[in-house]
Each structure stands twice: as structure tokens, then as C-alpha cells.
Amino acid sequence: MHRLHSLITLVLLGTLALGCGDEPNARRNHDTGVTDAGHDPDGGHDPDGGDTDGGDTDIGTGSLSLSLEGLPAESPWPNIALVGDTTLSVPEGGTLDAIPAGEYQVVAQSMVLDLATYSAPVANLTIEADQHAELTLSYALLPASWEVIIEGLPDTLSPLVNLSGPNTDVMLTASALFDDLPPGTYQLSPQEVSDGTTTYHAAVRTAALTSGANDPTTITYGLAAGELQVNVQGLPAGVTPTITVSGPEGYSATVNSATTLQALVPGTYTLSAAPVEANGVTYQAQPQSVEVGSSAAEVTLNFAALPGELEVVIEGLPAGLTPLITLTAPNGSTSTFTGANTLSDLAPGTYSATGAQVSSGPATYRTTQSSVEVRSGESATLTLTYQVVPGSLNVSATGLPAGVFFSFTLSGPAPATTLTSHTGPKLLNDLTPGTYTLAFAEVVHNGERYAPPGHTISLNVTSSQTAQATASYSLGFGTLALNHALTPGGSLTLNIGDGINAPQQVTLSG
């Protein structure tokens, strides 16, 4: 309507510009086409021709005071036309004189100030001769019409959109059509709407509304972006992981430390880490999946050293002996088991094993501590080699003259399974525990024979102990021939000795 009004105004203003060449306030002469010969003093017949001049008819003029209301104080004076038999322009201030009497329409141009358009209705005006007319034109602000469209939410949720603007502050819970808004700048501020862990939001929109129809403004809700805090645990200081994050709509990112991923589309995200090797140890983390909503989510990747395997082998023991083994882990913890064993799921590092001593009969077996490096994903072997603890044998003899040596042979377990000859007395070390047999030889000294009783001795040698073997030699028996003449009834007393034992006294009689 206001556009049609403006068009009429432009046409009228054009008419005003193309009007008669007279001054706007000039008196209009209705004797068009009649030649006035001047004043006729006698008022009778005009000798100048056959025309009868009825004389000039003066219709008279009036004046006008026009005032305006409804426009802002800073508004300039609008173009206003007085349209009748002639068209006149009303000057600023609204005072117009010498207006030919008659019927007029007052047509005011619409006033556009920034976004607002003000218009005044056409007013009818009668100008009477020698009369002063007064008229007030009332301008009115043309309202703005506008449609707000809200979309993007599930049917179960209602939007919350604050509409603020000139003299307006309302909360919209649905799309709306407005037809009477003051022109100006409006802001649509959507609030977040939640459905459980899912939040929807929309961007703030502004619109500059002019008087009349305006283009619709659409508020589109969408899923609010989420955040994901990624934590990393279990890696040595300074070790950098490589973590791949995948999610909805083809999302993919790589992170190398604890971080926060922002602006994520809600959905399921999967984190997988590549194995990390540091100082010979391989660290691995199990993949994790996490649901990211509109609020912040958190996930932790726990790295752990990839375990290794250890085979413990026992050597050097007779069949049937199973020693107690103590295993010390890299962190200092200990565990025990018996005999050979295979241990799995071991943390990488250096392991030490110690075997307890074991005994079988007179033999004791011992081993020394052994260590091995267990590496991630590999199998290591640790061998404990037992050795028998040796014994000693001290061989001596009695019954021999001082400084006289004796000989003997020794047979028994390893390392001597055959006869070995020795000269005694003697201390034999590093003998394998077991039963030994000693055979002593006859000793001849200064023509005399010394023989051990029975010639052999059997005994046991025990680990870490010294066995004693003593042979008791004795001089062999002989015949003493003595020729001596005795008088009848006489006697002979002799002291007989072997140089070792105490002499014996023997008396012979005739």
C-alpha cells in the first residue's frame, strides 16, 4: 500500500513540476483566449468589435497553515503537494499564501528514515477566498511483517528462541508470523535444547526489518558439538605415542599426547594406538571406544609393556630331584616354583633365578644365581646348572716306623672310577660323594715286612665333609734261631725286641 502511495506522490509531484508557468501563488485568469482592450469608461457598447466582454471574474485566494505530527523530531520536511485545479508545493514550515480558492487534496510523500517508513493519508481541503485554513497531517509508522521459521529439532523437543528488538522481548517455542513489528534490528537467540545426553543448538541470527514485508529468517537447530579428553598412561617419560581417533562422518585425527579434541560431531569414537618401543621394551594399549555427546567425554589409553616368556631349565641333577627355584622380577618381587618351568606374561626386564641346594644320599648339589633379559614379545631361556659339592678323604696309617711311607689304591665314583695309586699319608680333596675302597700295599722297610690288616678299607665320602681312613700296619712274624750251650741245670735270659714294640724277656734253660 505504501509503495502505491509513493507512486501516486511521485506522479503528483511531477504534475506540480509541469504546471503553469505562473508563480505558484499567482492568480489564475479564466478569460483565456479573450483580448482585454482595457478599461471601458462608459461601461457601454464596446466599439472595438463585436465581442461583448463580460469582464474579468476574480475567484479570490486563501491561505493555509499545515502542521505535521507523527514524524520523528529529526525528520526533514517531506514533499507535500496541494493538488486541485492547480498543483502547489507546500514549503517547509507549512505556510502557503495566495492559494486560489477551490477544492484540493493534500498529498504527502512517504518518509523513509533508516529502516522505518512513515506515511500520511491523503487529506481533502477547501480553500475559500480571503480565508485562512489550518490542517494537520498525521504520519503513521508502517509496521514490519516477518516470518520466523524454526527447524531441525525432533518432534519431541520444543525450541526456545528469544526474540529481542525495538519494544520486543518474547520467547518463541515454535515458528511464528509477525505482521505488526516496529521496524528495526532484531536478534534471535536460540537456547540449547537437550534430550538426555544429546544437545541441540542453533546460531544467533539478526535481521534488519524494514516497514512492510521482509524475507523470512530461519533458525536451524543441529546437534551441538562435543569434546573428548584423551588421556595417556603407562608410558615412560619422554616417550611419544601415536594414537588414531576415528569417528562419525569420516572423522579421523592423530594425536601424540594427552589432548582435548573439540567441535566433535556426537557419536561413537574409536581410539587405537600403535605399539611404542623404548629401551628395548614394547608398550601396547588396547583400543578404546567412547560415546561423545554434546557434553565433554573422557577416555584413557592405558599402555602396558608387551609381556615376554621365560623358560627355566635345570641341568646337572640326578633324575627325580626337583629343586625349589626363586625367581626375582625387575621390580624386585619374587616368586617360587619347583623344577623346570615355563613362565608367560612376564613384564620385560632382567630376571634372576636362584636354586636351593638339594641332596641325594651322601651327595649335595648346588647352583649359582643366573640372570637373563626378557624382552617384549619374545621368549628367553634361563639355565640353572647344578654341580655336586665334593668331599675329602684323609688317608693315614699306623704301625709303620717314623718317616716310612705307604702306598694304596683308591676306587670309587667319579672322577675316579678306576684304580689310582697314592703314597701316604695324604689328604684327597674334590672327591665325588659316594662309597670308596682303599687297598693298602705291604710295606718293606729295612728287610722287615709290614702288612695292613685285611689289606682293604671301604668308607663313604660325603659332600663338604672329610672322611678318615687309617690303616693299621703290623710287622710280620718270623723265626729266631739261637744256638747256645748250656750247662746242665743252667739258664739263659734274653731281651728280644722288634725296634717298634717294647722288648720281651725270654729265659732259656738247659
Sketch out the chain's domains with CATH numbers: 2-141 (2.60.40), 144-223 (2.60.40.10), 226-305 (2.60.40.10), 308-388 (2.60.40.10), 390-475 (2.60.40.10)
- The per-residue pLDDT for 505 is 77
State yes or no: pLDDT of 58 exceeds 60: yes
Q: How far apart are CA 472 and CA 454, in angstroms?
A: 10
pLDDT, residue 414, reads 61
CA distances in angstroms from 300 to 256, 265, 286, 377, 380, listed in the order given = 13, 20, 10, 24, 32
pLDDT, tens digit, for every residue of 180-236?
A: 999 999 999 999 998 877 889 999 999 999 999 999 999 999 988 889 999 999 999
Quickly state the pLDDT bin for 12 (edges 50, 70, 90): very low
Which three cell numbers, joined as nine digits, stand for 105?
487534496
Q: What pLDDT is attached to residue 492?
A: 76
Q: Cα separations (Å) of 489 from 82, 149, 155, 492, 510? A: 211, 170, 160, 11, 6
The tens digit of pLDDT for each residue in 388-437 reads: 999 999 999 999 999 999 998 888 886 555 567 788 789 999 999 999 99
At position 508, the amino acid (one-letter code) is: L
Sheet holding 281-285, edge to edge: 259-264, 226-233, 296-305, 281-285, 276-278
Grid cell 562422518 is found at 249
**pLDDT one-digit tens code per residue, 345-400:** 998 899 999 999 999 999 999 999 999 999 998 999 999 999 999 999 999 999 99
Q: How far apart are CA 467 and CA 470, in angstroms?
A: 10
d(CA 100, CA 58) in angstroms, rounded, equals: 10
Residues 6+ away with beta carbon under 8 Å from 10: none
Q: Mean pLDDT score of the chain, rounded to an integer?
A: 85
Q: Which residue has the cell 617360587?
A: 336
Q: In 323-380, which residue ranges form alpha helices assigned H by DSSP? A: none
Q: What percent of the chain lies above the pLDDT cut of 90?
A: 69
Spatial separation of the C-alpha atoms in residues 202 and 218, rounded to whole Å: 10
What pLDDT was estimated at residue 295? 77
The model carries a pTM of 0.48
The phi and psi torsions of 478 (rounded to 5 degrees) equal -135, -175
Backbone angles phi, psi at 16, to 5 degrees: -65, -40
